[in-house]
Homo-oligomer: A and B are copies of this chain.
Amino acid sequence: MGEPAGRGPDTLGAGHVLGVDSGGSGLRIAVARADDAEARPLAVRASDEPVRTGPAGIDAEHLLSQLLPAAAELARETGADGFAAVCVGAAGMATLGEELRARLPDALATAFGVRRLALAADAVTAYAGALGQRPGAVIAAGTGMIALGTDLTPAGGWRRADGWGHLLGDCGGGAWIGRAGLEAALRAYDGRPGGSAALLARAEAVFGPVTGLPGALYPRPDRPAVLASFAPEVARCAAEDDTVALGVLRAAAGHIADAAAAVCPPGAGTTVACTGGLFHMGEPLLAPLRTALAERLPDARTAAAAGSPLDGSLAIAAALARDRLTLPTDRKLLQITRPAPG
């Protein structure tokens, strides 16, 4: 395969880079200049349609059918002559991205002269968005929950905790909190211990009579999202001092802090950053989380994330274009690929 017409040579740090963030709520794509150390987005495209995943993983065809036209538009809009590097961050990349690994390098090389490509788990783009290329730990929590940390040494690599999904873990994430809240509602309905009349009232307000809840939940393909949709009601009941709801959020905070402590590199002043929609729940979760983190990681500093996973994807692409990528590479979490020379 020859060099695509009209592309310049692979000059270090010149030109533009593309960052992609593919998740449950859709696809986001942005362009930055490769020589911008902060990799600020010049232009962004977002689609509400999540990329499909099947038994064989992320649907590469579906991703490419959205990515290539949007990237072409962004190139025209920013005057980019192809892209020096691309980072694709995606949920499920770690375990489900085989087809993508096989097809993406050539597709991007052909369309945009891309020579450097990073495939990243969404936890890695969340890390890069939150902390850049500093050592530390990120807690990424929405429907699920995962913690990822690194000391930036090749020997240390990435440390990952939880992120096992709603049946095996994701302890303290949105589905976990919502599920615990619904269980407490049904305990109240049954007259079992551990029930909360306030949560039962909220469950009936949201879902109707609870006897219909199993029939409404189990046939749905998006059960974790349905469970997570009840998490804000748990926060609301906790804010009104419901003992059971307070206990659910205290337990969630403990699980989240446990995961952070399992991956955070040692050393005073290490930063632990929180990112993701779960933290929009505010003080009912954040107050017990500060307490739990202070107990487990007394020397660490807790910070809000500096940027989003899309910012992290752009930062990785820009660092890759300038040969300045210091985050650890890893077959499952952050893989750098280059198409075969033409």
Known A162-B192, A259-B190; contact A96-B215, beta-carbon cutoff 8 A: yes
Is the CB of A55 closer than 8 A to any CB of chain B?
A: yes
Known A192-B258, A258-B192; contact A186-B167, beta-carbon cutoff 8 A: no
Nearest CB of chain B from residue A72's CB, rounded to whole Å? 33
Nearest CB of chain B from residue A126's CB, rounded to whole Å? 17
What B residues does A164 contact at CB under 8 A? 183, 186, 213-214
What B residues does A169 contact at CB under 8 A? 183, 186-187
Cα distance A162–B171 when bound, in Å? 22
Nearest CB of chain B from residue A230's CB, rounded to whole Å? 11
Q: Which residues in chain A, 223-249, are within 8 Å of chain B measured between CB atoms?
A: 223, 227
Q: Which residues in chain A, 167-189, are within 8 Å of chain B measured between CB atoms?
A: 167-169, 171, 179, 182-183, 186-187
Nearest CB of chain B from residue A332's CB, rounded to whole Å? 8
- Is B186 a contact of A217 with CB atoms below 8 Å? no
Binary CB contact string for chain A from 197 to 215 against chain B (1 if under 8 A, 0 otherwise): 0000000000000011111
Binary CB contact string for chain A from 128 to 171 against chain B (1 if under 8 A, 0 otherwise): 00000000000000000000000000000000111011011101
What B residues does A161 contact at CB under 8 A? 190-192
Most buried by B among A168, A171, A186, A262: A168
What B residues does A218 contact at CB under 8 A? 165, 167
Cα distance A171–B168 when bound, in Å? 16
Q: CB within 8 A of A193: which of B165, B179, B258?
A: B258
Most buried by B among A164, A194, A211: A164
Is the CB of A9 closer than 8 A to any CB of chain B?
A: no
Cα distance A214–B95 when bound, in Å? 9
- Is A165 a contact of B214 with CB atoms below 8 Å? yes
The oligomer's copy count stands at 2
Is the CB of A219 closer than 8 A to any CB of chain B?
A: yes
Nearest CB of chain B from residue A93's CB, rounded to whole Å? 13
What B residues does A215 contact at CB under 8 A? 95-96
Known A190-B259, A211-B95; contact A183-B168, beta-carbon cutoff 8 A: yes
Nearest CB of chain B from residue A172's CB, rounded to whole Å? 11
What B residues does A182 contact at CB under 8 A? 168
Nearest CB of chain B from residue A146's CB, rounded to whole Å? 10
Can you list 24 residue pairs at the A/B interface with Cβ under 8 Å? A95-B211, A95-B212, A96-B215, A162-B186, A162-B192, A164-B213, A164-B214, A165-B218, A167-B217, A167-B218, A167-B223, A167-B227, A168-B179, A168-B182, A168-B183, A168-B217, A169-B183, A171-B183, A190-B259, A190-B262, A192-B258, A192-B259, A192-B262, A194-B258
Q: Which residues of A contact B (CB under 8 A)?
A: 55, 95-96, 160-162, 164-165, 167-169, 171, 179, 182-183, 186-187, 190-194, 211-215, 217-219, 223, 227, 258-259, 262, 332
**Given A167-B217, A192-B258, 20 other A-B residues pairs in contact with their CB atoms under 8 A:** A95-B211, A95-B212, A95-B215, A96-B215, A161-B190, A161-B191, A162-B192, A164-B183, A164-B186, A165-B214, A165-B217, A165-B218, A167-B179, A167-B227, A168-B186, A168-B214, A171-B183, A192-B262, A194-B258, A211-B332
